[in-house]
Chain A
């Protein structure tokens, strides 16, 4: 299981290739890549702040719980921190399980957690300056589906 926070851009295809390698008992791998949106020019960059040692530990705890809950063989989470330009991948989640249903559900669950409850602080830089963003009602409702 890998949980990684990084300031450098990553290439989701390469992460998926590595994640799939050498699996003979895994029947299903599901991956999700989130990409920073420009929102028609309203967002020039996202800035994501984490608390090193706390943010990764909290995400690791949720990842471990998800591995048990969905009976996963393995999972991987890579998350950008720092300044992220539109078009760049911001998050990558991959789940591996014997069968597809568990892999799909675990990836969905992990993304709902990461989008609304993970300890990040997100700032949006736009033409009119910067503002701090909080989860949308939709993000919060999505996360509640798993409680």
Chain B
């Protein structure tokens, strides 16, 4: 079971913070497209500058291959405390 997490304004826009998926698409870019397929506001927010992704709690750059059971988080610009 894979987990997809949204934080900050992304979670507010989507109306959810966590989703469990039985299977993941092959790549991070396809996962982004999948979760925003029926939500154009989320698609726009995910494409905004400064949005980063973390896979299994490590920041990743660019597109990457996904494997079963991973935890993928989409992180809007960090605000500090």
Assess A132 versus B81: contact at CB under 8 Å? Given A51-B7, A51-B73: no
Cross-chain contact of B78 among A53, A79, A120 (Cβ < 8 A): A120
Contacts of A53 in B (CB 8 A): 57
Minimum CB–CB distance for A126 against chain B, Å: 16
CB within 8 Å: A-B pair count = 55
Contacts of B5 in A (CB 8 A): 51
Size category of the A interface is 20 to 34
> Interface residues, chain B, CB within 8 Å of chain A?
5, 7-9, 12, 54, 57, 73, 75-81
Cross-chain contact of A118 among B8, B57, B76, B81 (Cβ < 8 A): B81
B7 and A90 contact, CB distance less than 8 A:
no
Contacts of A123 in B (CB 8 A): 8
Minimum CB–CB distance for A66 against chain B, Å: 16
B12, B54, B80 interface centre (most CB from chain A within 10 Å): B80
Nearest B-chain residue to A53, judged by Cβ: B57
Cross-chain contact of B8 among A117, A121, A135 (Cβ < 8 A): A121
B54 and A134 contact, CB distance less than 8 A:
no
A114 and B80 contact, CB distance less than 8 A:
yes
Return the CB mask of A10-31 against B: 1 if under 8 Å, else 0. 0000000000000000000000
Known: A120-B78, A122-B81, A133-B79. 18 other contacts (CB 8 A): A48-B81, A51-B54, A51-B57, A53-B57, A54-B73, A116-B80, A117-B78, A117-B80, A118-B78, A120-B79, A120-B80, A121-B9, A121-B76, A121-B78, A121-B79, A132-B79, A135-B79, A135-B80
Contacts of A45 in B (CB 8 A): none
A49 and B9 contact, CB distance less than 8 A:
no
CB of A72 within 8 Å of the partner chain: no
Contacts of B57 in A (CB 8 A): 51, 53-54, 57
